[in-house]
């Protein structure tokens, strides 16, 4: 236990099944490690009753935690075999919610790999409706709250626009499997991220790495739902011969593609980009008459790095 006994630190090793083709940890592996560390924090605090992080008071009131928003900033991806320290702690969020933050760094050098923050609300496990925080639950968890943030939000949460079926990329062949369900019997949120990223073109993923992801959760997803993943690239600005041109995609070998798909010749511009390459995402359940949102997302990307900086 850390932070005067209210925070928690876990040491983990990046295993071979947690890395991708470039031998660095995948974003899904990082999210799973965050989830596991959070549960271990509750367990070590003596608050864990049963279920997915529920305290004893929550179990008495048939309540469970559900995540409403999550953000992960990745500065560097740990490689296979890296020994990491993951710190986590909690704080108040509004009257009835909780905020949980994480910090991931190298145990050997102290290099920060990633920061993450999330907000959580309570749901009645039987009615599947959001619930206020009972006084006995507040009494259980409030002594653990501290005022510390892993990611500062100067202007409040970033807004994520809703996509429609006119989005540039779409995958309508997604079907949850039994193995995708968690202990609360709905699709684990890490699976959502995989569905989102698989909609992005392969040629982009080969040359870029995720630097920031924001997720806004709207409803549960069960094994019987038919899921559709929508994805839209956002414009970014490219300096070209002293003039600013609008582009929205990076093709193979670093060539910029305009909104209409034509290549902006590499010899005619200086490869200096303003801001990150960004995509907006939406997962929704396809219904007969209308579709319901599961989660909105926004991802930001940077050119893939091959080596870590010197400590």
Active-site residue, selected from the candidate residues 76, 186, 208, 281:
186
Alpha carbon distance 133, 97 (integer Å): 8
CB atoms near residue 209 (< 10 Å): 17
- The DSSP symbol for 200 reads S
Active site residue 186: yes
Bridge partners of 301?
210, 277
User: For the CA atoms of 44, 46, 49, 51, what is the dihedral angle to 10 degrees?
Assistant: -20
- Of 278, 294, 191, the closest CA to residue 234 belongs to 278
Q: Which one of the listed residues 41, 221, 231, 249 is annotated catalytic?
A: 221
State yes or no: is 184 an active-site residue: yes
- Name the 3-class secondary structure at 294: strand
Under 8 Å between Cβ of 237 and 275: yes
Distances (CA, A) of 277 to 17, 125, 193, 300: 28, 39, 17, 5
Give alpha helix (H) positions in the chain. 27-45, 56-60, 135-141, 189-197, 202-207
Q: Does residue 151 contact residue 116 with C-beta atoms inside 8 Å?
A: yes
- Rounded to whole angstroms, how far apart are CA atoms 156 and 158? 6
Tokens representing residue 273 in the block: 């980009």
Instruction: Give catalytic status of residue 221 as yes or no.
Output: yes
Considering the candidates 184, 188, 189, 248, report the single residue annotated as catalytic.
Answer: 184
Backbone angles phi, psi at 270, to 5 degrees: -90, 125
Q: Please give the positions annotated as active site.
A: 184, 186, 221
């Amino acid at each position: 236990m850390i932070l005067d006994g209210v925070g928690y630190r876990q040491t983990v090793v990046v295993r071979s099944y947690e890395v991708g083709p470039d031998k660095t940890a995948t974003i899904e592996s990082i999210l799973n490690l965050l989830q596991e560390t959070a549960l271990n924090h509750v367990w070590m605090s003596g608050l864990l009753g049963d279920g997915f992080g529920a305290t004893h008071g929550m179990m008495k009131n048939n309540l469970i935690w559900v995540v409403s928003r999550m953000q992960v900033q990745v500065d560097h991806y740990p490689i296979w075999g890296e020994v990491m320290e993951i710190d986590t702690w909690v704080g108040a969020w509004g009257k009835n919610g909780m905020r949980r933050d994480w910090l991931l760094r190298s145990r050997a050098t102290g290099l920060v790999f990633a920061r993450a923050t999330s907000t959580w609300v309570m749901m009645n496990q039987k009615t599947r409706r959001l619930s206020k925080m009972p006084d006995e639950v507040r009494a259980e968890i409030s002594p653990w709250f501290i005022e510390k943030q892993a990611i500062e939000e100067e202007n409040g949460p970033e807004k994520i626009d809703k996509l429609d079926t006119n989005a540039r990329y779409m995958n309508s062949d997604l079907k949850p499997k039994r193995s995708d369900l968690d202990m609360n019997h709905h699709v684990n949120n890490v699976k959502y991220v995989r569905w989102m990223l698989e909609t992005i073109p392969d040629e982009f993923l080969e040359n870029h790495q995720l630097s920031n992801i924001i997720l806004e959760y709207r409803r549960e997803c069960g094994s019987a739902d038919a899921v559709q993943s929508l994805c839209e690239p956002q414009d970014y600005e490219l300096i070209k011969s002293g003039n600013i041109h609008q582009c929205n995609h990076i093709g193979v070998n670093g060539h910029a593609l305009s909104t209409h798909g034509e290549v902006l010749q590499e010899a005619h511009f200086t490869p200096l980009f303003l801001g990150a390459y960004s995509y907006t995402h939406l997962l929704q359940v396809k219904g007969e008459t209308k579709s319901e949102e599961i989660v909105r997302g926004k991802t930001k990307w940077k050119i893939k790095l091959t080596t870590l900086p010197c400590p």
